[in-house]
Amino acid sequence: MPALKVPRTEAEPVKRKLKKLNLYGGKRRPKREGDFVLLPVLDDPGVYGLGYEVLSIELPLRPERQIYKNLESVLAERLTPEELKYLRRYDVIGDIAVIQIPPELEHRVDDIVWGLRKVHPFIKVVAKKGFHEGAFRIRDYSIIWGEKRLTTVHKENGVEIKVDLSRAFFNPRMKGERYRLAQLVKDGERVLIPFAGVIPYVLVIARYKNVKITAVELNEEAYKIGLENIELNRKRLKGEIESIHGDAFEVLQELPTFDRVISPTPRGVDALALTLSKARKWLHYYDFVHEEKIGEFRERILDECRRQGKECNVRIKKVSDFKPHVFKVCADVKILE
Ligand SMILES: C[S@@+](CC[C@H](N)C(=O)[O-])C[C@H]1O[C@@H](n2cnc3c(N)ncnc32)[C@H](O)[C@@H]1O
């Protein structure tokens, strides 16, 4: 069985690329070897053209439960094919499984809980997901099984993130995005992250890069959990973190400019002019945009650059689906010298 020998720092993006190309050998486990990771790949000529050494090695097989049992296949035992069509994507945050249950499956809640526990035997809570509410973007959850709590510690990108879903926003699906940005940041940079939440972006970047990061968050609960997260990860962080509790629209006026600004902008908030005005070299600006309006969004950013007397290159990256035809996007804005 072949394996791709990849530098540790590149393992995650290469794994994602392999999965996209259908070349990843998911039945086996990757293995760490010093500064490298051996990624299991399929016996396919495609794996030889990727620019990495291909080794012939027997990587250990994953336990069967992990290979074959996804929620849909497990629930096929209990739900009809018609009902299975309504099954939504779910998240596992620490030991909490979070799932949206549409009205068509309300009568199947017990089966869904049974399926989730079968696929993820370690979970201690199953919560039903409502919608994001208010400026702090906190969702409305109801616990449908297990311990009566919405706090947990989620592991991602080499850091531990304390989360309290009842008090602060957290989205585990941004894991790849956080990793991407951590790779873009250079040692020695000063980075500003408004709308920082429980500071997942801050932690992942500070984990990998020797940088000074300033985080700003308005929700006091999220800010306090963020402080706990700094302590929780203290020993593994290369970078320094300054955390500020306050309204980004007021606090940023008092701050200097930064090499890089990362704005995980809450939906419906326009912080483009503000965040661009604080960026010297790079702005990474998140927003929600209809697929037909991506060109317009790019023009809006270029207009704002001109208005601020900055020459910019703008690249828009689709990060995730938000609703049909609407994407969460990140505008990577490079400010030219
Ligand atoms: C989309 S969430 C992103 C949180 C975090 N960056 C993450 O990825 O988990 C937006 C965050 O901005 C915070 N927020 C909303 N308005 C704010 C403001 N005016 N100033 C600072 N933070 C604000 C919310 O409380 C929320 O935590």
Tell me whether domains 2-61 and 69-149 share a fold.
no
- Asked if residue 223 has its Cβ within 6 Å of ligand 1, the reply is no
Work out which ligand 1 atom sits closest to the CA atom of 169.
27
Atom 9 of ligand 1 has which residue's CA nearest to it? 170
Name the CATH architecture for the domain at 69-149. Answer: 2-Layer Sandwich (3.30)
For residues 169 and 218, is the Cβ–Cβ distance under 8 A?
A: no
Mutate to test the pocket of ligand 1, among 218, 275, 285 (most ligand atoms within 8 A of CB): 218
Ligand 1 centroid, distance to 192 Cα (angstroms): 13
Q: Which CATH architecture has domain 171-335?
A: 3-Layer(aba) Sandwich (3.40)
Q: For the domain covering 2-61, report its CATH number.
A: 3.30.70.2580
Please tell me the predicted confidence (pLDDT) of residue 337. 62
* Whether residue 169 has its Cβ less than 6 Å from ligand 1: yes
200 lines ligand 1 (CB under 6 A): yes
pTM above 0.85, yes or no: no
Pick the residue whose CA is nearest to atom 27 on ligand 1.
Answer: 197
Query: Judging by DSSP bridges, how do beta strands 312-323 and 240-245 pair with one another?
Result: unpaired
Ligand 1 pocket residue status of 250, Cβ below 6 Å: no
- CA 265–ligand 1 middle distance (angstroms): 7
Provide the pLDDT for residue 37.
95
The domains of the chain are located at 2-61, 69-149, 171-335
Q: What is the pLDDT of residues 325-337, one digit of tens each?
A: 999 999 999 999 6
197 lines ligand 1 (CB under 6 A): yes
Question: How many whole angstroms from 230 Cα to the centroid of ligand 1?
Answer: 17
266 lines ligand 1 (CB under 6 A): yes
Per-residue pLDDT of the chain (337 residues; tens, 9 = 90+): 799 999 999 999 999 999 989 899 988 889 998 999 999 999 888 898 899 999 988 887 776 544 446 899 899 989 999 999 999 889 999 999 999 999 999 999 999 999 999 999 999 999 999 877 788 888 889 999 999 999 999 999 999 999 999 999 999 999 999 999 999 999 999 999 999 999 999 999 999 999 999 999 999 999 999 999 999 999 999 999 999 999 999 999 999 999 999 999 999 999 999 999 999 999 999 999 999 999 999 999 999 999 999 999 999 999 998 888 999 999 999 999 6
Counting from 1 in the atom list of ligand 1, the atom nearest the Cα of 269 is 16
